[in-house]
Structure 1
Amino acid sequence: MNNEKPVKPTLNPSDHLANERTFLAWIRTSIALMAFGFVVVKFALFIKQISIVLAGKVILPGKGYSATIGIFFVAIGALMALLAYFRYKHTEKQLTEHTYQPSFMLSLVLTLAIIIMSGLLIYYLLPSI
């Protein structure tokens, strides 16, 4: 009969620090997407205002979906920050319980969203070439 207590595995600080670095990378990326969206919206507004000043009327080709595209980028960036937080907390719990299983679903969904947004942006910009 063995009377020894089970040894509780020790927590590895480098795993937790790597999880935090990954979370911060997701946050930086989400901030970059939101900043890009903001610039797209404000640049469209700037072009509209400068055309009024120079020509006395709005001179913009097409329907002008820049504001919609910019707002979409800001929304995707905000959603990305929220999902990054949930992924961070879930991974932290798995690391603490020593049950970590990698999940690539968030990466796949966000990659597909960015590819779709890029395709729509290319489609929108092609007529202006």
Structure 2
Amino acid sequence: MNEQENIHPKIRNRRVHLANERTFLAWIRTSIGIMAFGFVVEKFALFVKQFSIFIGKEISTMPHSGYSSFFGIFLVALGAIMGFLAFIRYKKVEKQIDEDTYQHSVLLDILLVISLLAIAVFLIIYMLHSI
């Protein structure tokens, strides 16, 4: 019998498990960044509203602040969903590594690309509206 077969899979594949954990942490950092950006966008709407009250007039060159509030809340929710999906992916890959049946999944990758495209389109529309 081979010596490698007697070793527990987590020990035998520790480098692969550590790489999986680093990938998970990178996804968590990304989701936290998206949530933080959403928080800033949402608070920017509040800042614009408070600033217009402070100076005593409506700022007509700025788009409606409702857009940024909605967009900020959307980004916070998107970041939370991405963090949850990252955890599910981490546990799934961990199990696949132990069973030596790893198969790449692109769900989280596709979600990130679609969200970035949606964010870019929204920001372009938002900036064009403010011209």
TM-score by length of 1: 0.87
Comparing both structures, which one devotes a greater share of its residues to helix? Answer: 2
Alpha-carbon offset, residue 78 of structure 1: 0.4
- For 1:40 and 1:58, the matched residues in 2 are separated by 20
* Cα RMSD (Å): 2.0
Give the 5 Å matches for 1:19-98: 19-54=20-55, 56-60=56-60, 61-64=62-65, 65-98=67-100
Alpha-carbon offset, residue 118 of structure 1: 1.7
Alpha-carbon offset, residue 22 of structure 1: 0.2
Alpha-carbon offset, residue 104 of structure 1: 1.6
Alpha-carbon offset, residue 121 of structure 1: 2.0
- The number of residues matched between the two structures is 125
In structure 2, stretches of 5+ residues that fail to align are none
- Whose radius of gyration is greater, 1 or 2? 1
Alpha-carbon offset, residue 44 of structure 1: 1.3
TM-score by length of 2: 0.86
- For 2:31 and 2:76, the matched residues in 1 are separated by 8
- For 2:42 and 2:111, the matched residues in 1 are separated by 25
Identity of aligned residues (%): 54
Query: Which amino acid in 1 is paired with 2:23?
Result: T
- For 1:48 and 1:82, the matched residues in 2 are separated by 33
Which residue is equivalent to 2:18?
17
Query: Which amino acid in 1 is paired with 2:72?
Result: G
